[in-house]
Amino acid sequence: MNINRFLLVGAIVALLGGCTLAPEYTRPAAPVPADWPTGAAYQETKSAVSAPTAEGLPWREFFTDERLQKIIETALNNNRDLRLAALNVERARAYYGVQRGELLPSVNAVGSGSQERVPADLSSTGSARTAERYGVNLGITSWEIDFFGRIRSLKDRALEEYLATDEARRGAQILLVSTVAQAYLALAADREALKLVASTLKTQEASYQLIRKSYDVGLASKLDLGRAQSQVDAARGDVARYTQLAAQDENALNLLVGSPLPPALLPAELGSVSPPKEISPGLSSERLLRRPDVLAAEHRLKAANANIGAARAAFFPRISLTTAIGTASADLSGLFQSGQGTWSFAPQIAIPIFDARTWSAYDVTKVEREISVAQYEKAIQAAFREVADALAVQGTVNRQIAAQQSLVDAVAETYRLSNARYTKGIDSYLGVLDAQRSLYGAQQGLIALRLAGVANQVTLYRVLGGGM
């Protein structure tokens, strides 16, 4: 009889175990255009369609600089933020295991023994006696049979939250890879700028010494000497500033990596860094749906959807089962003899009649789902904006670099002519100073644009979901 009851319960659970009251999930429509933006700023982006996509290009293949590859590898092994992200994934996975375990009964084996002295005036025999009882039971305690899918919905929610956490870890890894690369490039650019200002300082000091000699023999004015001195002082200040920036860049890189880097791995200048590979954004913005942050937002939306099922199930009866089979005897020696078997079967049902909190909780889950929808749509819109901005830079930065290089060449020639005219006594030293400042500023601008170009390649790689 007891075996039949267990079989009946198992059959019911098998039939109804897959039922949930969660609404059917449908992915919201992406609130962005299907195609990438077009226009003058993007005219050069179409040439990259034949290049590999970011998500299909591992970071070891995207970054071609061997020193940068070693630095990124070290950062992935040592970075504390990435380690925390991985631990959060492990915690979410463990929580999912706990929630999934709620679907299964907890079977316990219990052995017990007791002795009790009964005084004579309380004994049925009129004399004092010692009562003994021993028992061994195998049973299930308060197992909720998930007829309406409450526990299964909670399990689905835990699964989606685990998957969201895992996508967040992927996003953290992609961000770390790109951030390390950006810091490496910034260090290279600032070191190149430091070389430029150091070279400019030497030129300014040489010019000052020539002006000083001319002044001593009466061929230059005190005004020219003062202007030359001001250029030297300004260059000294720039040397100190770029020395500081380069040191700060190195500190930032060491923090990202998690340990001090050997000098041999650090770049000498931007020109010594091998540029990353060219990548294609693809023909459609649909690939944004595969970005880790967008996938994480969608998993959170699915979790909110599953939570509605759990809230709906709270309106229906909850059935729990407590059962046990075993043996019992007044003598330890007779515990396993024939005829000492015991069993118990105690189902319990709780039928909700009225609970305002249940209705409020259900309303909360619906609002939370709408919040998750808005967050999912916002994630897609932010992703589209990031890619569009990176494509705009990609489509124009080469033209900016070419124009700036032409400017540097023109200003360099102007400086040469101004210096020659001053040497021949045709013009004042003011023209030379103006040409020097213009050349220095143009050279600095060229370094900044070259950095912007290569850094934007890294940015485009990241916002398109590359970095794994």
pLDDT tens per residue, the chain (468 residues)? 444 554 455 545 544 455 678 889 999 999 999 989 988 888 655 545 577 888 888 999 999 999 999 999 999 998 888 888 888 888 888 877 877 776 767 777 777 777 777 777 766 777 777 777 767 777 677 777 777 888 888 888 899 999 999 999 999 999 899 999 999 999 999 999 999 999 999 988 988 888 888 888 887 788 888 888 888 999 999 999 999 999 999 999 999 998 899 999 999 999 999 999 999 888 788 889 999 999 999 999 999 999 999 888 888 888 887 787 878 777 766 667 776 677 777 777 778 888 888 889 889 999 999 999 999 999 999 999 999 999 999 999 999 999 999 999 999 999 899 888 877 878 777 888 888 889 999 999 999 999 999 999 999 999 999 877
pLDDT of residue 6: 46
pLDDT of residue 303: 94
Per DSSP, what are the bridge partners of residue 112? 135
Largest CA distance in the chain: 138
pTM exceeds 0.85: no
pLDDT of residue 7: 46
pLDDT of residue 1: 41
Rounded Cα distance between 71 and 273, Å, is 13
User: What is the 3-state secondary structure of the chain?
Assistant: CHHHHHHHHHHHHHHHCCCCCCCCCCCCCCCCCCCCCCCHHHCCHHHHCCCCECCCCCHHHHCCCHHHHHHHHHHHHHCHHHHHHHHHHHHHHHHHHHHHHCCCCCEEEEEEEEEEEECHHHCCCCCCEEEEEEEEEEEEEEEEECCCCHHHHHHHHHHHHHHHHHHHHHHHHHHHHHHHHHHHHHHHHHHHHHHHHHHHHHHHHHHHHHHHHHHHCCCCCHHHHHHHHHHHHHHHHHHHHHHHHHHHHHHHHHHHHCCCCCHHHCCCCHHHCCCCCCCECCCCHHHHHHCHHHHHHHHHHHHHHHHHHHHHHCCCCEEEEEEEEEEEECCHHHCCCCCCEEEEEEEEEECCCCCHHHHHHHHHHHHHHHHHHHHHHHHHHHHHHHHHHHHHHHHHHHHHHHHHHHHHHHHHHHHHHHHHHHHCCCCCHHHHHHHHHHHHHHHHHHHHHHHHHHHHHHHHHHHCCCCC
CATH class in words for 18-103+146-316+390-463: mainly alpha
Rounded Cα distance between 318 and 92, Å, is 27
With beta carbons less than 8 A apart as the criterion, state whether 254 and 248 touch.
no
Residue ranges per domain, the chain? 18-103+146-316+390-463
pLDDT of residue 29: 92
pLDDT of residue 277: 92
pLDDT of residue 216: 85
With beta carbons less than 8 A apart as the criterion, state whether 277 and 56 touch.
no
Rounded Cα distance between 468 and 460, Å, is 14
